[in-house]
Structure 1
């Protein structure tokens, strides 16, 4: 019961990582305010609990809506102990030479500004709370190209730097701020923005699940529970000396080129060695 009598805020909680985190925190004693724009999913999550999960409609692209969420939780419970800034989506998919300003702004509002104001409006209710902690969801896309569209990657990279800046700003209040960088996690984020029928989305989810089991050294797809467990650790007293940093939870996806861990993938250096031997053999072994 790591979070007994704690108040926890989770954005984007109607499904995926957020829903799994809400269940985990509530199972360990917390009162969880699960927020989302998906009222059906959010209310179903709350109804499935013993009353320890309370749903609040919140559009994280609207700072006033974020403030309303934080104020409600604090007014009802006396304060806020943990904030998990999780809400997000794939955002604009166009490359930098095609993206429109409005699409860029919407993506940044959802992925980066929402985290900033999630912190901004929670902190007044977190000051003086022992073990107060903020956990932000970034992504392995923040480490470089190849993992997501450009706008998403830039937004998630911003979350990492915001995490460090906020940790420095809030140290005087004894509020820790950390981030998680998920890898290939089986959630709806990959299909929610696709303009295809629902039955086609279900098929796409199956394909993605199969792909994700082979995308990294750990031979299974990442699950929302993997990220929920990392969030619970960072929010707990066990991580009391962890601050201003990020945990990569990706099954080893970012270890290096695929050939570095996949024995069936051609090794570039081995290929070069073989080419060298072949060239030497063709010249009678003369170097």
Structure 2
């Protein structure tokens, strides 16, 4: 019994260590993907992605953890509201729309530019769930009966959240696939969010040097990444410079805060 207890404690400690390592690695990967998407909007390549601050990592972990926890809590509470409902309209809403609404609600901050696609996806699901049964079961009388027929046709041994969580907990291969999926999904979402953030950004710091205007794009360690600005058409050239953030009092670098309505775009890179 003592050996079994010690073995169990070692396994729990090992699982906790692996989880902490995975969360940390995911935090770095998400922070990197976000910055890559952000800089990629301006045409800046991975060459400038040499530092990821610990603040960015902690922030990405906090956002991911809070988003997943909030979405799961929202889903469970929404399901509980319709727990004892027998109306087929409500059952379909609970089984299909509650998961969809959970995903959509918590994805809006990351996909503001793709709301049209989300709207059409939602419309398609409404038609598939509530309109198609009218034609599929046209011999069945009554709209509610048609929906009940659709529900009765479901596989009783089909996919459920409870079964999925059990598989994740019990089957190592499923656990591995879930980890890989979270990394890929987290990276894609962070990249898109970074790109969207850069596209909607309107406040910048401006430097005037040698008769030209340079826009501060992002900081990289102790340096700023800047690019020449064409204020007439609100574009930056594909010519990026690294300058030291520090400046002395005799020859200070003066930064001006500017607001560019509609954001900026990047000119196309030259082909050779």
Band of TM-score, shorter chain: under 0.3
Larger RCO, structures 1/2 (Cα 8 Å, 6+ apart): 2
Question: What TM-score, normalized to structure 2?
Answer: 0.19
Of Structure 1 and Structure 2, the greater helix share is in: 2
Question: What TM-score, normalized to structure 1?
Answer: 0.19
Q: Which has the larger radius of gyration?
A: 2
